[in-house]
Every structure is written in structure tokens, then in C-alpha cells.
Amino acid sequence: MHAADPMWIKVFLGVHITAGASSFLLAPVALATAKGGKQHKRWGMVYLWSMGVVAATALPMALYRPVLFLALVAVFSFYLAFSGYRVTRLKELARGGSAEPIDWIAAVICFVASACLAGFGAFRPGWVQGMGIVSIVFGFIGMRAAVAEIWKFVRKPTEKMFWWYTHLGNMIGSYIAAWTAFSVVTLPRIFHHAGIFLWLWPTAVGVPAIALTIAYYKRKFAPRVKAVA
């Protein structure tokens, strides 16, 4: 923050930090509660709204600076939480149901923002504050998330529990974004020359964790094969 910043920037920054800290602390609470229970839904919604406030305050501040990199990252980070929530309302896709317009719009916006992030990182890194490699990595993650959802809308899922895997993966993915923000803001005081490592280590740890967790639940939900007497 600069001394000459207008008051609204200072207010937005305060709200942004508060919401970011809330989402960072509340995600484990939602994860620890019984899945599908009242407390899980309650804290999950608080987390979703916190992530929404983070994105809603980050966008205007990033555009005011302007810091295009942060603006584009805010879009795909919130989309992970949004789609993780929305998929719980789209369970009927596996039985021929259809996505709503808001799901299509959000997925397209995420794809476009993420494609710009990856493209600028590769060919115009100066447009994304020199964060070339980080932009490419985050851009491809965002594009993959958007395409995965659009694919569900077009080709109906065949797995009954598809929504659970998406909910789990995308919510944890959004929490990786919260960890990344914590890493970038806090850890430079300890690791002075870590560079892009501070941006990418949460993804390097979190993505395999998502894959292992989903694999665990797929085994758990797999149909039991009855032994032949």
C-alpha cells in the first residue's frame, strides 16, 4: 500500500486481508466436520463467501494498480470454490440433468481468464508483472478446471459420485490458492531468496494430495463385489 492510495483502496485491502485470513482458517474447520452434515454445510458456505469477498476486493484493487496477474488469479481461484459448491447442486447431471446458465457463464469466464494468464505468461510476461512460469502453471490449472466442468455439462457423468470428487478436489484446490497467498505474504520474511518457490510449493504439495484423496474415496465408493460361494 502507498500513502497516496485513495481511502477505498485502504478499506478494500483491510476487508481483503480479513476475508483471506478467514478463508485460510475456516477451510480446515469445514474439512474436519462430518461431510454432508449441518456444520459442514454451514462452515463450507462461510468459507465460500470469504473466498468470494477475497476475489471481489482483489479484482478492483488489481485493476486499479494495475496488476493484471493478480486480477486473473483472483478469477480462477474463486472459480474453484464456486464450482466446488455448485457441483453439489448438479448431482442430477449423472441422470440426464442440465447445468444452469450461471454454471456455463462462470466456466467460460474462468477459461478465458486462465487462457489469458497462461498466454501472457508465455508470450507477454511483462503484462503479468514478470510472473511468467507462475502464470503458465496457474493458467493451465484454471483452464483444466473450467474444461473439466464444461465437459460434465456436455457429456453427462457416468459415475454416481462424480459430484463428490469434484466438490472435494475443487474446494481443496481453492484452499491451495489461500495457502499460496499466505506463503507469498508471510514466508519471504523467513526465506528471503525463495523466488517462485513461494508461489508454487502449495500447488506442488496440494495437487498430489488432491489426487490421493480422490483415489481414496473412489476406492471407498466402489461397488462391492460379492464373493461367489
Please report whether residue 165 resides in a domain: yes
pLDDT of residue 133: 94
- 10 Å CB burial of residue 46 (0-12, 13-18, 19+) is middle
Number of domains in the chain: 1
| Contact partners, residue 102, CB within 8 Å, separation at least 6 | 86
Please report whether residue 13 resides in a domain: yes
Please report whether residue 16 resides in a domain: yes
| Contact partners, residue 1, CB within 8 Å, separation at least 6 | 9, 10, 13
Q: Which of 17, 24, 43 is nearest to 174 (CA)?
A: 24
pLDDT tens-place string over residues 70-128: 889 999 999 999 999 999 999 999 888 899 999 999 999 999 999 999 999 999 999 99
Reply yes or no on whether the pLDDT at 192 is more than 70. no
Please report whether residue 114 resides in a domain: yes
Please report whether residue 1 resides in a domain: no
pTM of the entire structure? 0.89
pLDDT of residue 228: 53
Please report whether residue 91 resides in a domain: yes
pLDDT of residue 41: 87
Reply yes or no on whether the pLDDT at 227 is more than 60. no
Please report whether residue 20 resides in a domain: yes
| Span 170-191, average pLDDT | 85
Of 86 and 27, the one with more pLDDT: 86
Q: Mean pLDDT for the chain?
A: 89
* pLDDT > 70 fraction of the chain, expressed in percent and rounded: 94
pLDDT tens-place string over residues 119-170: 999 999 999 989 999 999 999 999 999 999 999 999 989 888 999 999 999 9
pLDDT of residue 26: 84
At 30, the pLDDT band (50, 70, 90 cuts) reads confident
Q: Which three cell numbers stand for residue 141?
A: 490449472
Residues 26 and 46 sit within 8 Å (Cβ to Cβ): yes
Reply yes or no on whether the pLDDT at 226 is more than 80. no
Please report whether residue 2 resides in a domain: no
Reply yes or no on whether the pLDDT at 35 is more than 80. no
Rounded Cα gap, residues 229 and 217, in angstroms? 28
Q: Could you list the residue range(s) of the whole structural domain that residue 52 is in?
A: 7-221
